[in-house]
Amino acid sequence: MDPQTLAFYQARAPHYTFTSAQRHSHQLDPFLDRLKPAACVLELGCGGGQDSARMAARGFMVDATDGTPAMVAKAKERFGLAARVMEFDELDADAAYDAVWAHASLLHCQRAALPDVLIRIHRALVPGGWHFASYKLGEAEGRDLLGRLHNFPSAEWLIAAYEAAGFVIEAREVYAGKASDGTQRDWIDLTLRKA
């Protein structure tokens, strides 16, 4: 992870979780509906913990992770989650999860490192396991107005990277969205399955 991006979330965790992380993601329940009851779900980039808390409330086994210690502390404080600090490239599980949820988190992974992270996610899933991720689209890696690094991939680049890692794309949606720095940008949601 980019040190400047981690420092941003470390310094602003109380404000970020108060203003931006109140409700679980609207894509979460439809994704969870695809899973078997009591499935084991890894969340990458749990932030304040609202999505992991929703998973737990629905009866799923949750492994909530975030690369920022302050965000992990907030997830524990707000929801009593057993969250832990883990950066994306530290994922080293093998067939341990039924699903991996990464809402608006992998978009901060350096573009050159993302293919390896996707291979790690693929390896961490059981056969036929599910993965969700959302990204801000673009053409070149860069920083937003708040100084956070984004990989800003094109949809074509991203889909090729996932397919190279062994995923099958089950659903995709591109839509206009407003980022927390106030800029308008297209986003893509990907729902994928381990081949």
pLDDT given for residue 19 in this prediction: 61
Would the pLDDT of 20 be above 80? no
Q: Are 144 and 188 in contact (CB under 8 A)?
A: no
Structure tokens at 115: 């293919």
Provide the percentage of residues in the chain whose pLDDT is more than 70.
97
**94 SS3 class:** coil
Q: Report the range of poorest mean pLDDT among 18-27, 62-71, 169-178, 180-189.
A: 18-27
CA distance 146 to 123: 33
Evaluate if residue 30 carries a pLDDT over 90. yes
| CA distance to 109, 119, 145, 159, 174, per residue, from 154 (Å) | 15, 19, 20, 9, 11
Count other C-beta atoms under 10 Å from residue 66's C-beta.
28
What residues does each domain of the chain span?
Answer: 3-19+38-194
Q: Structure tokens of 75?
A: 């997830």
Residue-wise pLDDT for 35-51, tens only, equals 999 999 999 999 999 99
Strand partners, 130: 99, 193
Q: What percent of the chain has pLDDT over 90?
A: 89
CATH assignment of 3-19+38-194, given 3.90.228.20, 3.40.50.150, 1.50.40.10, 3.30.420.40?
3.40.50.150
Q: Which of 177, 172, 163 is nearest to 191 (CA)?
A: 172
